[in-house]
A and B are shown apart, each in its own frame.
Chain A
């Protein structure tokens, strides 16, 4: 019996969300006196996988089949379900990322294993898990009533806890499932800025920006902080910014450590997707903007004057740190 966790790989590296999934699986495995065993699919150096030991992994099973290098829900599902059966997995842990969302429910239906998607806490002794609900407006405590259980953990919720240790890496041969979709083209976002769902720092802007030509000051601030950029829904609808930047109830739901909202009024649908951020900063010229009620820090004033000064202050701070 083991707690199995799914490891996401991009360009030969373990994704950040998977460090957290490892820590989560390890913490739960410890709680029930079992081992945390990872499953990695596709090309990656075994040393990278062994390093997951610092997050508490005991063992990592690695199926290096080339087929796994491009993502296919069907293949991944078969692989995870097969391994889960082989190691007699008690619980399977995924990250609630796009990959996790595409695979975990399929594995759940295949193994008839109840799933909690969007978990933000460890299971208790009765396997009740806290999860986000109502797009961040509330939490639900969900109990899983099946012998095999699946949990999909929201990125940046549980945290990755670093200790010491190395995991043993064992290569496994898995028969890849027949491909039922044909991938023609993959385009990846450039640069090493974290994608929104994983981002720890987010600079977001709304209709108060007046037009797409003014976004330079937002990008400068984000760059100075090493933050990911986001926007409100009308901004994406007006095609001022790409749609993947749209956060909120009908966009991406995020929970960064720091969310800086600039020229965004704070409509209930916007707040729903961002109110689990650990610290919220609001910059708005309207002192009555509803966003201030959800904020930790606020500045009332003209964003066009304030934002460049913030960027300067961040640069000065970072320069002082070196």
Chain B
């Protein structure tokens, strides 16, 4: 089975977010980029597990510039067989990225396309649904469990206020959430072999964005915390009722 895993790069989770150029650009200075946790922990690792159980190949795809290569190699170190980077520099919205990946996905004949449920920087949850639409495949969102029997997948996924179990035949697009797999740490052998695994750079289609970011803003600073003595916790409830009017 041929697996394609979409990987995105995001600022490390401990990054203090700030902006430059009159708050129109994200401040890249000193930012450590990592694989989007959902893509890495759930989509990539589950694809690798399925490949290990049933055979096949796992390809990762990223849309971005050469600066991403080092982080893409981490996906190879974890176990992906090869990588494709669609060479895009500068800003692109989820539609533009989905369109670029769609071109690669169409020509590659993949049985399953996996990605994380969202990125932790834009939190759009857009890519999977758009990609599925652009290549006319079924889309299963927020999967927490995925098992294969032949060409049929049995998937457990989160729906509003509960869970759903469904079956779908390959090929399909699936977005992955917690529960799918356990994060893996690359070992020495993986790290060494990643250096020589293919990382193919392909030219973009040049599909434009439908939206653009005009500016960014940080949330307003919190005013000082009001402390309540531990021997009078009921005072908190009074304040929440009378002052904050929350309860």
Contacts and interface: CB of A to CB of B under 8 A. Distances in A.
B220 to A, nearest CB: 10
Nearest to B211: A114
B159 A298 contact: no
Interface string B146-161: 0000000010001111
Given A296-B225, A310-B233, A317-B247, A99 B159 contact: yes
A187 B162 contact: yes
Contact of B236 (A99, A180, A281): A281
Contacts of B140: 73, 181
Given A183-B164, A184-B166, A281-B236, A299 B230 contact: yes
A313 B239 CA distance: 11
A112 B211 CA distance: 11
Contacts of B139: 73-74, 102, 106
Contact of A281 (B123, B142, B159, B240): B240
Contacts of A251: 178
A43 interface: no
B240 A135 contact: no
A298 B211 CA distance: 41
A168 interface: no
A282 B240 CA distance: 13
B53 interface: no
A317 B246 CA distance: 13
Given A106-B132, A184-B166, A276 B98 contact: no
Given A77-B133, A185-B164, A139 B216 contact: yes
Interface of A: 8, 10, 15, 71, 73-74, 77, 97-99, 101-106, 108-110, 112-118, 128, 130, 132-146, 180-189, 195, 201, 225, 236, 243-244, 246, 249-251, 253, 257-258, 268-269, 272, 275-276, 278-279, 281-282, 292-302, 305-306, 309-310, 312-314, 316-317
22 contacts: A98-B141, A99-B160, A108-B126, A109-B130, A110-B133, A115-B211, A118-B123, A134-B17, A137-B219, A138-B17, A139-B219, A141-B214, A141-B217, A186-B164, A243-B178, A258-B240, A269-B14, A296-B244, A309-B234, A310-B237, A313-B236, A313-B237
